[in-house]
Every structure is written in C-alpha cells, then in structure tokens.
Structure 1
Amino acid sequence: MLANYFPNMRWKNALIIGASGGIGAALCAALKASDARITELSRSGDGLDITDEASVERTLCALDQTYDLLIVATGALEIEGAEPEKSLKQISGKAMMDQFALNAVGPALILRHAARLLDRKSAAHIGVLSARVGSIGDNRLGGWYSYRAAKAAVNQIVHTSAIELARTHKSLACVAMHPGTVQTPFTEKYVARHATVPAPEAAENLLGVLGNLDSSHTGQFFDWSGERVPW
C-alpha cells in the first residue's frame, strides 16, 4: 500500500490539465507545497476545451518548456444531465458520444503532445485519471455503459501511449489512475453509496503512488493505494 506516502520523487516542473476541478486543484496545492513549478490549465481558467482539437492544439503548442510530471485530471460522470445508465434501454447515442469525447478522446488529444512536452533525459511521470468502473475484469455490477466504456477506452489509450513513448522516453512512467471516490461536485450525487475521501487526501494519495513508480511500471493501471487494477 502506497497511500499517504509522499513520494521521495520531487518534481521540478509539473503540468496539470484540469487544474480548476476538485482533484486538479488539490493536486496543484500539494505540488506547490513541495516547491514544484506548476503550469495549471483548465477550461474555466484558460479556455482549454479538451473536447475541441483546435483548443488543445492552440493551448499546448503555446507551451515552450518541458515537464517531469503531466497529470490529466479531467473527466465527468454526468454530461448535460445524462445520468449513468442502469439498463441497456437507457443508452443514448449522444450521451455515449459525449462521454467518449470528454473521458477518452480528450486525454488522447493531450497525450498527442506528450513526447514534446516531457523531459527525455530524466525520470518523468504521466498520470491520467481513469476509474475502476472502466475495468472490464473488475465489472461485477453492470450498468453505467457509457461511462464504463469511455474509461475502458482511455485505459487502452494510456497503455498504447506508454508503449510508444517508451521508445523515446526511457525513464517515463505513463499510467492510468483510479483516485477513489473523492468528495467533489463530480461525485456529490453518489457519495452515499461509497466511502469517500476529501480532495486533498486523494491528491496526496495519487502523488504518493506516482512518486513510487518508475519506467518498469509504465502502461499499467493503479488505484489510489498503489494496487494494480485489472484491465
């Protein structure tokens, strides 16, 4: 278990995508406390819309430095009021495509720039927030078709990206991460069903896990405690 362990790894220059969200803001606060330099990007703060390819291209191409930490802390469980489906009869094509656009395609558009943005000469980390419900092997309850499928897709995107990036970034760990159920507006309607943690604690857990990973762990899927999650 790696939770509640702040990493020996001290990042010098971090890029946080989704910095205005509950987890993203907590990650930024934790990293600032460790004296890391942080570039914070979000839709509300910088106009970065990860579902808009032109917005991603414009925003990330304007960055002229390299990073040793990149975290994609974006995502949504409900989009435009569409709640997770309880049965096949509730599937909506638009709701499913909205989920894929935000939770899978968006992170892929960010990772498209990873090779240029990440330091090639020293240890670096990429963490992309996923969710345990995106695990096919761990699915015991069914339902939540669109969200599950989108998170399964981003897991594949992270795994495939890790394979490619390993060819040029030998000391990189690129992983998908399940943060647990965090007390944010994102989970507000669902907290009665699960144990939750405050966003600052979740951020510390995630950084603790990332700080203990090296290139031998790249392409894997970890939860907030450092345990591997099945695909």
Structure 2
Amino acid sequence: MSSSAVIIGASGGIGHAFETALIEEGVFETVHGFARSRPGAQHVDLLDEASIAGAAAHVAKGPPPTLVIVATGLLHDGNRGPEKALRDLDPAWLARVHAVNAIGPVLVAKHFLPLMPRTGRAVFAALSARVGSISDNRLGGWHGYRASKAALNMLIRNLAIEERRRNDRSIVVALHPGTVDTALSRPFQGNVAAGKLFDAERAALQLLDVIEGLKPHDSGKLFDFEGIEIPF
C-alpha cells in the first residue's frame, strides 16, 4: 500500500534536510513538508492548533502517513536565550519554550497519529535533546529548554503506550540529533568538540538510519544519532 511521510518544521536546517533526503530516496508516494514560514496548505504554526489540524486534513486526502517527524525546537530567539541561573527565569519565556518544544509536538501527534495505519510499521518521531534527560543532567542551567525537552520525553512515552493499544507495531520515539550546524545551535558552537558538529544533511541521514533500524520494543524511548538509547 502506498504511503506518505510528513515533516513538521521543514523550513529549518535539519527539517529541510529530512524533506530533501526523503524525496530523493523515493520510498514514499508523497512527502509533505510543513513549516510556519510556508504559505497555504504547507503552513503549520505549533502555537496554532488550527493550523496543525488543517495540515492533518490536507494529508488525510492522500496516502496515509507511515512516517511523521517533528523537526522543530526553540532554544533562543535573538532576544532571549537559555537561562544560566535562577535569576534569569522569566515566566513568559518558560511558557513559550514549553509551548514550542513540548506542547506543539504533542498537538501534532494528536492530529496525525489517528491518520497513521492501525496495522503494520509506522513511526512518529520528535526531535528532543540529550539535555532533556534528567538522569544525564550534571551541569544544570538552561532551565526552560531542559525542562521542555524532559516534558517532551514524558509525552513521547505516554503517546507510545497509548498508540501501542491501537497498533502494536507502531513506534513513537524522541531523537537526539547531536549538535547540528543550524541557527538553533550557532551561538553555542564554540564549546563543541572537534568532529561533533554535524551539518544538517549528515544529521538528517544519521537519524533516518536510526529510524530505519527501530523496532516496536524501542517505542517510547529517546535515541541519539548513533541509535544509542539515552535514559530519561
């Protein structure tokens, strides 16, 4: 049966690389790319659930999606960045970071998981981050970003449990792409070890390889770009 793939955040560095790679591979009949900056039927704003619902309705007109990737994230916006200490906490910024990094992806799941097949392999993946692992946190700081990604990881676990009841071969995962040379990481690349800064194309291909190797028992977990599980 023919199927489609969906990329949310397709105008970003890694999202666009996902879209390009999937089109070039030619596995899917249709590759849908959505982004806040795109017009018309390709427009999705994670802060606007109606736009997410509209995108899902558009996808529902064609082959069912067997791969959905949420390739979005907010770490800084040019005015504000990750907090270094308690004195930097701002409730409006915390709410915005959680809205983009945790609430937005789960709203995508709300509207897109029901479109995915009830039988056979299907993958829903959202980009998370190693810094969202509570057990791996040894440095502190970056309160909003860490907490929002930890929240995303919990939501992924919840979604995986619920989705398994609908399709026992479904896979719902969080993925850590490493440090990718995009606008999100650019202000912080000075501390990246040699060989650990990936271009977007390489990062996308690495994660697509990870996705290809996932099994149903991997659902509800967080994996890095090498396919190694990161404990929550």
- With structure 1 as the length reference, what TM-score do the two structures score? 0.92
In the TM superposition, residue 13 of structure 1 has moved relative to its aligned partner by 1.9
For residue 159 of structure 1, what is the aligned residue in structure 2? 157
Three-state SS of the structure 1 residue aligned to 2:120 is: coil
Correspondence 1:35-74 to 2 at 5 A: 35=26, 36=28, 37-45=30-38, 46-64=42-60, 65=62, 66-74=64-72
Which of 177, 182, 185 aligns to 2:183? It is 185
- One-letter identity of the residue aligned with 1:215: P
Q: Deviations over 1:93-114 (max 9, x none)?
A: 0110010010011001101023
Q: Partners of 2:79 and 2:4 in 1: how far apart?
A: 36
TM-score normalised by structure 2 residue count = 0.91
Q: Deviations over 1:149-195 (max 9, x none)?
A: 00000001111000000001121111001000000111111111113
Taking structure 1 as reference, are residues 80 and 108 closer, same or farther at Cα in structure 2, changes over 3 Å only? farther
Identical aligned residues as a percent:
39
More displaced stretch, 93-102 vs 32-41: 32-41
Q: CA deviation at 1:53?
A: 1.7
Larger CA deviation: 194-203 vs 29-38 = 29-38
The question of whether the paired residues in 2 share the 8 Å contact of 1:79 and 1:95 is answered with no
- Compute the displacement of 1:87 (Å): 0.5
Matches within 5 A, 1:23-34: 23-34=14-25
* Higher mean displacement: 136-145 or 110-119: 110-119
Unaligned runs of at least 5 residues, structure 2: none
Q: Is residue 76 from structure 1 mapped to residue 69 from structure 2 by the alignment? A: no
SS in structure 2 opposite 1:95? Answer: helix
Task: Measure, in 2, the Cα distance between the counterparts of 1:63 and 1:32.
Answer: 16
Aligned counterparts of 1:102 and 1:87: Cα–Cα separation in 2:
22
Deviations 1:24-82 (A, max 9, x none): 00011111121033011111113311111222222223322411101000111113621
- In structure 1, the partner of 2:230 is 229
CA-CA distance at 1:12 after TM superposition: 4.5
Using the alignment, how far apart are the partners of 2:135 and 2:112 within structure 1? 28
C-alpha separation in 2, matches of 1:115 and 1:206 = 20
**Gap runs ≥5 in structure 1:** 1-10
Q: CA RMSD in A?
A: 1.3
Higher relative contact order (CA 8 A, sep 6+): 1
Counterparts of 2:220 and 2:98, CA distance in 1: 20
- Number of residue pairs matched by the alignment: 221
Counterpart Cα distance in 1 of 2:55 and 2:125: 19
Q: Is 1:107 aligned to residue 105 of structure 2?
A: yes
CA distance, structure 1, for counterparts of residue 181 and residue 103 of structure 2? 25
Within 2, Cα distance between the matches of 1:121 and 1:167? 11
